[in-house]
Amino acid sequence: MMAEQREEKKQQYSGETFQVVSFRLGGEEYGVDISQVQEIIRMVEITHVPRAPRFMEGVINLRGQLIPIIDLRTRFGMNRADHTKSTRIIVTDIGSKRVGIVVDSVSEVLNIPVENVEDAPEMVAGIGTEYIQGVGKVDTRLIILLDLSKVITSEEKQALDSVDEAAE
């Protein structure tokens, strides 16, 4: 990856550290830019939307607002997991879109110094590198930094594709 692109990405984060909300999904630990996180809520009743793309879990009512919920496990090609006591919905704000993502559990808010962030390796546990901004090292832990806007855009594209398929 080009050095200036790295620079650009880093500037999206606050100054010299990446401030991320970290969460678990499958065996891995992920992080999303804290500025994109609106709030973290416990599992609520999700209204299933029939014939929606598979990764669309449904919609929830968050104080009068309809929020679409994406199951990241399905999106990343992992097995679905039953919701447990620690399952959370991270409500994210990307551009003008508000989307909730279901994760196994939320860990903490981490400050990762820029120098501890590496470029994404070719493949990380089956998910494409296009969603990954980099991998952060915190002690012995590796945090996969997700670019949520990419996740959402490609979700959208996929959703549209599947509708087009249905139309044919």
Partner 1 sequence: MSDEPFDKEEFVAYFRDEAEELLQQIDGDLLRLEEFVDSGQADPEIVNSLFRALHTIKGSSGMLGFTEVQGLAHKLENLCDLLRKERMPLSEGSVEILFSGRDFLTDLVQAAIGQSAPPSGLNEFTGRLDQFVAIYNETSNVIEGKAPDRSEGGNAVGSEPMNEAEIAAFEAEIERMLAEAAATAPPAPTTPTANLAAPAVESAARPAPARGNGESADAKKSAAQGKRSSLAQTIRVDIDRLDALLNLVGELVINRTRISDIATTLGRLMGDRALNASIGLIGPLSKDLADSAALLARTTNEIQESIMKVRMVPIGQVFDRFPRTVRDVAKARGKEVQLQISGADTDLDKTIVDEVGEPLMHLLRNCVDHGIEAPDERERQGKPRMGTIALNAYHEGNQIIIEISDDGGGINLDKVRAKAIKNGLIGTEDRLTDRELIELIFTPGFSTAEEVSDVSGRGVGMDVVKRNITKLKGIFDVDSAPGQGTRFTIKLPLTLAIIQALLVRVVDELYAIPLDSVIESQRVEMPDVRTVHGSEVITLRGQVVPLLRIADFFELGGERDPEKVMIVIVGLQGRQVGLVVDSFEGEQEIVIKPLSDVVGRIPGISGATILGNGSISLIIDVHSLVSDAYAGGKVTRAEFSGV
**Given the rule CB under 8 A, which residues bind partner 1?**
45, 47-53, 56, 59-61, 64, 66-68, 70, 97-99, 152, 155-156, 159-160, 162-163, 166
Phi, psi of 34 (to 5 degrees): -65, -25
Q: Minimum distance between the CB of residue 80 and partner 1, rounded to whole angstroms?
A: 17
Tokens of 37: 């996180």
Q: Minimum distance between the CB of residue 56 and partner 1, rounded to whole angstroms?
A: 6
Nearer of residues 49 and 123 to partner 1, judged by Cβ: 49
Sign of CA dihedral 45, 51, 55, 59: negative
Q: Minimum distance between the CB of residue 102 and partner 1, rounded to whole angstroms?
A: 14
Nearer of residues 31 and 68 to partner 1, judged by Cβ: 68
Nearer of residues 42 and 141 to partner 1, judged by Cβ: 42
- What does the angle CA 134 – CA 140 – CA 142 come to, to the nearest 5 degrees? 25
Q: Minimum distance between the CB of residue 166 and partner 1, rounded to whole angstroms?
A: 7
Half-sphere exposure of 30 (CA within 13 A, CB side): 26
- What does the angle CA 32 – CA 120 – CA 144 come to, to the nearest 5 degrees? 30
Q: Which residues, 6 or more positions from 127, have their beta carbon under 8 angstroms from its beta carbon?
A: 76, 77
Nearer of residues 25 and 56 to partner 1, judged by Cβ: 56
Nearer of residues 40 and 59 to partner 1, judged by Cβ: 59
Q: Minimum distance between the CB of residue 49 and partner 1, rounded to whole angstroms?
A: 6
